Amino acid sequence: MSTPLGVDLSEMTGASLLTARRALGLRQEDLAAIVGFTRPGTISEMERGKAAVPRYLAVTVRLLMKNRSKAT
């Protein structure tokens, strides 16, 4: 699903989250800090499929990726 702003609002898999985080050059702790997670291991659980990726995290990661591609 896409919005008029071109931001993909669909669900994100843990594997996609892992790939995007690595492409952004972020550690799990860095991404957790960006979105305000305080419990250690939260991003890791999502990337391993032990927890669902919240939509707001998926959108945030996609926006970061979009911003990264504009900068290059």
What are the boundaries of each domain within the chain?
A: 14-71
Q: Is the model more confident about 71 or about 59?
A: 59
Here the tokens at position 23 are 């492409």
CATH architecture of structural domain 14-71: Orthogonal Bundle (1.10)
Here the tokens at position 1 are 């699903």
Give the pLDDT mean for 7-33. Answer: 95
Does position 2 have pLDDT exceeding 70, yes or no?
A: no
pLDDT band (50, 70, 90) for residue 4: low
Amino acid (one-letter) located at 39: R
Does position 28 have pLDDT exceeding 80, yes or no?
A: yes
What are residue 8's DSSP bridge partners? 2
pTM over 0.75: yes
